[in-house]
Structure 1
Amino acid sequence: MRSSTLTAIAFSILVGLPTHSVAGSEDVVIEDAWSRASIGINRPGAAYMTLRNKGSDPVTLVGLETPLAMMPDIHETKTDANGVSSMAPTGAITIPPGASVSLEPGGLHVMLMRLQTKMVEGATFPLTLNFSDGGILTVNVPIHGIAARGPEG
């Protein structure tokens, strides 16, 4: 865990603030987080959710952390006019005030590269979102079956 994250958590505990967020990220709500089981650890996994900014200022997601994968990142799948799909990292994502960003199959999504353990149906894993203002937000992501199509499994 980064030193700034530990400092924020220690400060939050001392002053009685929630340890899951600080700064502008308290306006972000994570809805409908989910993922699919993996066959093993040799191929990347993915996670999906909706990020809603209930605040009056834009909030920028700049990084991800999870013990499940050594390289979690935000990727986007795009399909060209010929029907050919490609995927690439997006970098930071800014969520406008009062808006939401959907991370879903076939679009923006959390790519979980270099899995450390198999993603097992029925389990969950923590995913920490790091924001440009220093805030953090952690969600436990449920793992559904390998053929799941949404947060309901």
Structure 2
Amino acid sequence: MKKIKQTLLTISLLLSGCAVAQADEIKAGDLVISQAWSRATPGGAKVAGGYLTIENKGTAPDRLIAVSAEIAGKAEVHEMAMDNGVMKMRLLDKGLVIDPGKTVKFAPGGYHLMLQELKGAFKQGDKVPVTLQFEKAGKVAVSLDVQGVGAQAPGDAGHSGHMDMKKMPDHSGMKM
């Protein structure tokens, strides 16, 4: 019986992964934009990140030069990167080049859309409209699918950060 439950769980996880892989793709010129998502924000939060994948199927580069969103007073393209052992975030004020034949993934800890001065909270299950501005492909409307607070990828329910101490193993007899 235990093997059947494990098999059903595995199949369920695989199928949910397939649904994510089939998420909306948006074609704009030579670009294909997919897997657009964000995380739910706690009440009162004034910033949120946006993540997506941009593939350039053309023969010439294009550049993401701006982002805007009605729900944010300010929206920018940012990069997180290590600098002398310290993780730093910086604004990409000249935009981000998407080279021909390449795919750029926006993800936590790397490239991301920085939505600031939020006018409302992001709730799991919401779709947050944003507009990407490219040099060649022009303006492209995209919806960020809002995942759970601790999500690390699209389709990830995330977690609240709460640990149920009743479910923690008892280590009271351990010697240190």
TM-score normalised by L of structure 2: 0.69
Residue 32 (structure 1) aligned with residue 35 (structure 2): yes
Q: RCO greater where, 1 or 2, for CA within 8 Å and sep 6 or more?
A: 1
Tell me whether 1:78 sits opposite 2:81 in the alignment.
yes
Counterpart secondary structure, 1:136: strand
Q: Is the 8 A contact 2:30 2:137 kept in 1?
A: no
The one-letter amino acid of 2:123's match is: V
Matching of residue 122 in structure 1 with residue 107 in structure 2: no
2:115 pairs with 1:100? no
Q: Which aligned runs of 4 or more in structure 1 are off by greater than 6 angstroms? A: none
Instruction: Identify unmatched segments of 5+ residues in structure 2.
Output: 1-25, 157-176
- Residues 40-61 of structure 1 deviation map (CA, whole Å, 9 limit, x = unaligned): 2433100101111111111111
Q: Distance in 2 between matches of 1:71 and 1:98?
A: 31
Which whole-Å CA distance do the structure 1 matches of 2:45 and 2:144 have between them? 20
SS of 1:105's equivalent in the other structure is coil
| Corresponding residue to 1:131 among 131, 134, 146 | 134
Distance 2:44 2:124 in 1: 14
Deviation of residue 104 (structure 1)?
0.7
Count, aligned residues: 130
Q: Which stretch shows the higher mean deviation, 35-44 or 93-102?
A: 35-44
TM-score under structure 1 length normalisation: 0.79
Identity of aligned residues (%): 33
Q: Distance in 1 between matches of 2:77 and 2:42?
A: 21
Q: Could you list the runs of 5+ residues in structure 1 that have no partner in the other structure? A: 1-19
RMSD of aligned residue pairs (Cα, Å): 1.6
Question: Does residue 1:90 correspond to 2:92, yes or no?
Answer: yes
